[in-house]
Structure 1
Amino acid sequence: MEQEMEKRKDGRTEQSEEKWVHDASVDYKGRVPLRASTGVWKASLFVLAIEFSERLSYFGIANNLISYLTKVMHEDLKTAAKNVNYWSGTTTLMPLVGGFVADAYTGRFYMVLFSSFLYLMGLSLLTMSQFIPSIKPCDTRICQQPRKIHEVIFFLSLYCISFSTGGYKPCLESFGADQFDDNHLEERKKKMSFFNWWNFALCFALLLGATVIVYVQDFISWGVACLIISILMALTIIAFCVGKPFYRYKRTEGNPLKPILQVLIAAVRKRNLPCPSNPALLYEVPESERSQERLLRHTSGLRFLDKAAIIEEKHVEQKESPWRLVTVTRVEETKLVINLIPIWLTSLTVGVCVAQGTTLFVKQAAAMNLKISDNFKIPAASMSSVSAVGTLITVPIYDRIIVSILRKVTGNERGINILRRISIGMALSVMLMVVAALVEAKRLRMATHNALTIGMANHNTMSVLWLIPQYLILGIADSFSLIGLQEYFYDQVPDSMRSLGMALYLSVLGVGFFLSSFLIIIVDHLTGKNGKSWIGKDINSSRLDRFYWMLAVINALVLCFFLLVTKGYTYKSVHMRDMDNDCYKSDEVVMVA
């Protein structure tokens, strides 16, 4: 009888714990969230909607920006490519500031809301620069130099969008991932799918941005295109606000860098103490004082930092300062951050390859035969839609078929671990640059032949469809490298730094854009001495094929170094929460990989 009553009691406890979400999140009224009515897909769909509209706006502008700068602003190829890279780089580096502020002070929801309105203001300013007569590019349809006031307003609107992205991008994706409970098996699996479907929505936006929006820009007007994306952004901001009752919110915990600094200082202070052979002797939060915060398991790497958690005998009875004694969890969080550094550095070439898709690849397309039929001509920037198609095809196949098979083979929840997925994407990036170099070499040979035999340097005979392979490989590579990097920088950072983690992922792309501009400057300087620069004033006088071969070699070397750095990498190890006793089990661990 007693056993039966005990079973019923356990059953009620399990049902109660299943009913509520105990992952340190709260609902919009500050209460423990109800699992059935908050979070998961019902909440993340609102997040995906606003992400879709933002990416549609961004790609609609970014993919055709180099064409606008060369055709309307009359900038040469080098200047236009550098301006695009500077803007794109700033857009993807600003999230480091926004992510820090969100994690420390504002929270992700309010940072997303503020940034969305700022983004809308930038789009509105951009729209006005196309319609208001006094700030339009020119008085007439044909001019050699745009008005200075238009240049000022145009770049002001662009950088307004860039700064708003600083708070928008790092917080929105992490806020969407926060809607899934890591302590719940089914929700944890759904979170893995969330990153895949996040990129599916992103690439669908890229597809529409590179086709519909770019077509409107080229054949109707930039003003109409800007008006369309501004209205869509306004509608999705309203939808995002409507979803407020369904969200799960993470409370801010103050400066996320402070605990890391405390660990470093505490370890230096106790540098002369020997590390105990038994990790159980290191300090951890007493069970009576534990909150819903997830605890991390001790790992053997970077043992010097373990000294920060050594309990000194003379202070056993006293409560130590956090600048002298920290928990094992804080030590492990610091190890995670240090381990991020080599991964971040070796991932920068991914950003360099992505940068080519919105700059030099577009100019390649513009110099080719854009006619698909006698009656239809494709915009050069629309070729980037092929990369979106590559991702749109790859993501569902990977998420629904390949992962299911690999789970059975490897026993890993993800199918393959995160770093292996990234390395596959990096290998595909090498292939991408090789294919791009071969295609460009063929295009140059045909352009030179036409110039010699027909006397028309701009006579296009090579079809733009030759660019399909390189754009397709770019999309497939992104399905592995970019999604893998998103998962890595979300999962392998301390829970209190997830917005900053997404900002670090975005900074890979941002620094990649700046590196691309830096390489263009260096290559132009070195090769231009003999009057035959690899990157000249126009694409037919350039040697982009050699530039692409150089990028292929750089990517191959960095991939080798990446594989060396990640060999034996230790992933975040989290203690499982015992829901029945509302405490943590030390013998059960989730390896986040």
Structure 2
Amino acid sequence: MAIPEEVALLEDLVSDSVDYRGIPAGKSSTGGWRSAWFIIGVEVGERFAYVGIACNLITYLTGPLGQSTATAAVNVNTWSGTASTLPVLGAFVADAYLGRYRTILGASFIYILGLGLLTFSASLTIMGSSEQRNGDSAKPSFLVNVLFFFSLYLVAVGQGGHKPCVQAFGADQFDSQDPKERIARGSFFNWWFFSLSAGIALSIIVVVYVQSNVNWALGFGIPCLSMVMALAIFLLCRKTYRYPKGNPQERNPFARIRRVFVAAFKNRRLDLDQGQVEDGQSQTCESRLVGRDVEDAKALARLIPIWITTMVSMVPYAQYTTFFTKQGVTVDRKILPGLEIPPASLLSVIAISVLVSVPIYERVFLPIARLITKRPFGITMLQRIGAGMVLSSLNMVLAALVEAKRLRIAEEHGLIDKPDATVPISIWWFVPQYLFLGIIDVFSLVGAQEFFYDQVPTELRSIGLAFSLSAMGLSNFLSGLLITVIDWYTGRDGGDSWFNTNLNRAHVDYFYWLLAGFTAVAFLVFLFISKKYVYRRVDQVV
């Protein structure tokens, strides 16, 4: 489509983006912080919905669905892992076929359907509970369980398409060729996390309270309404967005990667350092293209060791929605006279910690780091991730010490075989480890998201973010596997499992010590790898 002459004269254009009409996007009329804040608002609504389901899920599984603590923890880890791994598939669909915008739309409808069915299944469970009082079965029927888990995984599918594309689409609103907008894009990842943490905190405070004190159907229905509102906001602002130029199928990055293997089959010798192909002829457009393909493939290969070590270091994240919450059930949860909070409400402390940490990171830490390092970004992305790993290992040490104290007090008061009794230790003892999680997120999680977005080819940026999310997802699967194996090994021959349903006879503290060691080893390997890593973009070279 031809560019209207008056548009070209009046404003600068973004080279690799178009507006909603398909013409080159103007910097003054599209993108930037104006569009980014709308997209951030969409993510706030989505996180409100997702956390409203995830943060208290173990309570629903061990309560209305009647599962054991270990089984429920594995189910939560498996679902969380699936939800965090599916973004790889969603990103593939977006980058290779549909584009980010249309993938977000399709994923949103699936998301809303899953939340609606989840609300319906909870309503059936409530009806079943009424029948229990009349002497019927003690657990929901098989069909209700099937509907519940089908709905739950439908939510995971919707989230898998929504999560990587919305964040990548938000980052796309900044021109990477413009130095000012590139720095603004770095800040975007920080303020993105700041804003969604506000949504998370609100979800934990409101939705968990409703689930714990009203009923689960309404507690699942509110997230459904939040997702509907997020979709409405996304559609309302479509005219302000910058869209990646070209049809996804025309710029399919996987077709480019396939050309590398064709070149290798023809025995072409590739000089990767010079970006040339030596086959007895002068360099052609085709050979330069193959050279770029190989460089992009190498860039992806260099990410794999970083991705693996990041995945291992994220295993501790899986614990705050499972064992942290179950520990909170056993202690004194009064924060004021006559006011007792649900244990899952402590997850709001993570969000509050992020809300405090992001402005400190942006306004205090980064300016000081820039003065010291003389770099516009303060510290490198890998340094940021590594700092989060160290903090994560220390946090597991703290969690182990607090749990050991809880067990010691339970023993001193003769409560070892009284799992329903309240252990006389205040829930405030658990607050520091939740605060640490927020700080860890600002370093490790946000750093990983920016790193994987920045270090992949432009066409693969949704997949880059999915890489980051999949590390979190696979860490949940790894956590679930560890729990299953340790539960079997420590509970065999009639012994007390580390994850005994009676937490006063369990030893979750041993598990935390194990995770602290895992994370420390992962950091040492990460440190070795990161020292040899060469950033894909020149302005990020250490």
With the length of structure 2 as denominator, give the TM-score of the two structures: 0.92
Q: Tell whether the 8 Å contact from 1:105 to 1:254 is kept in structure 2 after alignment.
A: no
Please name the residue that 2:156 is paired with: 162
SS state at 2:331 partner: coil
Please name the residue that 1:263 is paired with: 260
Cα deviation for residue 111 of structure 1 reads 0.3
Distance 1:173 1:318 in 2: 37
SS state at 1:415 partner: coil
Cα deviation for residue 244 of structure 1 reads 0.7
Q: Tell whether the 8 Å contact from 1:263 to 1:326 is kept in structure 2 after alignment.
A: no
Structure 1: runs of 5+ lacking an equivalent:
1-14, 284-309, 574-588
Distance 1:513 1:454 in 2: 30
Q: Does 1:189 align with 2:183?
A: yes
Distance 2:63 2:419 in 1: 20
Distance 1:55 1:453 in 2: 38
Taking a change above 3 Å as real, the CA distance of residues 369 and 18 of structure 1, as seen in their structure-2 partners, is farther
Distance 1:419 1:53 in 2: 30
Please name the residue that 1:294 is paired with: none
Q: Tell whether the 8 Å contact from 1:28 to 1:245 is kept in structure 2 after alignment.
A: yes
Taking a change above 3 Å as real, the CA distance of residues 24 and 264 of structure 1, as seen in their structure-2 partners, is same
Q: Where does 1:394-473 land on structure 2 (aligned, <5 Å)?
A: 394-451=357-414, 458-473=421-436
Cα deviation for residue 28 of structure 1 reads 0.6
- Which range moves more in the overlay, 41-50 or 237-246? 41-50
**Quick check: which has more Rg, 1 or 2?**
1
Please name the residue that 1:305 is paired with: none
Q: Tell whether the 8 Å contact from 1:350 to 1:481 is kept in structure 2 after alignment.
A: no
Pick one of 472, 476, 482 that aligns with 1:509: 472
Please name the residue that 1:227 is paired with: 221
SS state at 2:14 partner: coil
Distance 1:317 1:90 in 2: 46
SS state at 1:23 partner: strand
Q: Tell whether the 8 Å contact from 2:313 to 2:522 is kept in structure 1 after alignment.
A: no
Q: Does 1:590 align with 2:539?
A: yes
Q: Tell whether the 8 Å contact from 2:415 to 2:423 is kept in structure 1 after alignment.
A: no
Distance 1:368 1:383 in 2: 13
SS state at 1:72 partner: coil
SS state at 1:152 partner: helix
SS state at 1:24 partner: strand
Q: Where does 1:369-384 land on structure 2 (aligned, <5 Å)?
A: 369-384=332-347
Q: Which amino acid aligns with 1:361?
A: F
Cα deviation for residue 220 of structure 1 reads 1.2
Q: Does 1:556 align with 2:505?
A: no
Q: Tell whether the 8 Å contact from 1:351 to 1:510 is kept in structure 2 after alignment.
A: no
Q: Tell whether the 8 Å contact from 1:447 to 1:458 is kept in structure 2 after alignment.
A: no
Distance 1:183 1:87 in 2: 39
Cα deviation for residue 144 of structure 1 reads 2.4
Cα deviation for residue 138 of structure 1 reads 5.0
Q: Which amino acid aligns with 1:215?
A: Y
Distance 2:484 2:124 in 1: 36
**Percentage of matched positions with identical amino acids:** 41
Cα deviation for residue 523 of structure 1 reads 1.2
Q: Which amino acid aligns with 1:261?
A: R
Q: Tell whether the 8 Å contact from 2:419 to 2:502 is kept in structure 1 after alignment.
A: no
Q: Tell whether the 8 Å contact from 2:354 to 2:441 is kept in structure 1 after alignment.
A: yes
Q: Where does 1:313-332 land on structure 2 (aligned, <5 Å)?
A: 313=280, 315-316=281-282, 326-332=289-295
Please name the residue that 2:243 is paired with: 249
Q: Does 1:567 align with 2:531?
A: yes
Taking a change above 3 Å as real, the CA distance of residues 20 and 207 of structure 1, as seen in their structure-2 partners, is same
Pick one of 51, 54, 65 that aligns with 2:46: 54
Distance 1:247 1:442 in 2: 53
Q: Which amino acid aligns with 1:413?
A: P
Cα deviation for residue 34 of structure 1 reads 1.2
Please name the residue that 1:301 is paired with: none
Q: Does 1:215 align with 2:209?
A: yes
Cα deviation for residue 135 of structure 1 reads 6.5
Distance 1:212 1:542 in 2: 31
Pick one of 353, 358, 367 that aligns with 1:390: 353
Taking a change above 3 Å as real, the CA distance of residues 19 and 565 of structure 1, as seen in their structure-2 partners, is same
SS state at 1:22 partner: strand
Give per-residue Cα distances to partners, 1:74-117, cap 9 Å, x unaligned.
10011000110111111011111110010011000010011111
Please name the residue that 1:32 is paired with: 24
Taking a change above 3 Å as real, the CA distance of residues 171 and 457 of structure 1, as seen in their structure-2 partners, is closer
Pick one of 80, 85, 88 that aligns with 1:88: 80
Give per-residue Cα distances to partners, 1:500-547, cap 9 Å, x unaligned.
111111100100000000000111122223512211223222100111
Please name the residue that 2:448 is paired with: 485
Taking a change above 3 Å as real, the CA distance of residues 475 and 452 of structure 1, as seen in their structure-2 partners, is closer
Q: Does 1:74 align with 2:38?
A: no
SS state at 2:540 partner: strand
Q: Does 1:534 align with 2:493?
A: no
Taking a change above 3 Å as real, the CA distance of residues 319 and 22 of structure 1, as seen in their structure-2 partners, is closer
Please name the residue that 1:545 is paired with: 509
Q: Tell whether the 8 Å contact from 2:416 to 2:505 is kept in structure 1 after alignment.
A: no
Pick one of 346, 349, 374 that aligns with 2:312: 349
Q: Does 1:312 align with 2:304?
A: no
Cα deviation for residue 426 of structure 1 reads 0.3
Q: Does 1:336 align with 2:299?
A: yes
Cα deviation for residue 254 of structure 1 reads 4.2
Distance 1:459 1:56 in 2: 31
Q: Which amino acid aligns with 1:259?
A: R
Q: Tell whether the 8 Å contact from 2:64 to 2:125 is kept in structure 1 after alignment.
A: no
Distance 2:423 2:534 in 1: 53
Q: Tell whether the 8 Å contact from 1:130 to 1:137 is kept in structure 2 after alignment.
A: no
Q: Does 1:525 align with 2:453?
A: no
SS state at 1:462 partner: strand
Taking a change above 3 Å as real, the CA distance of residues 131 and 409 of structure 1, as seen in their structure-2 partners, is same
Q: Tell whether the 8 Å contact from 1:43 to 1:179 is kept in structure 2 after alignment.
A: yes
Q: Which amino acid aligns with 2:444?
A: S
- Which range moves more in the overlay, 129-138 or 76-85? 129-138
Distance 2:150 2:320 in 1: 24
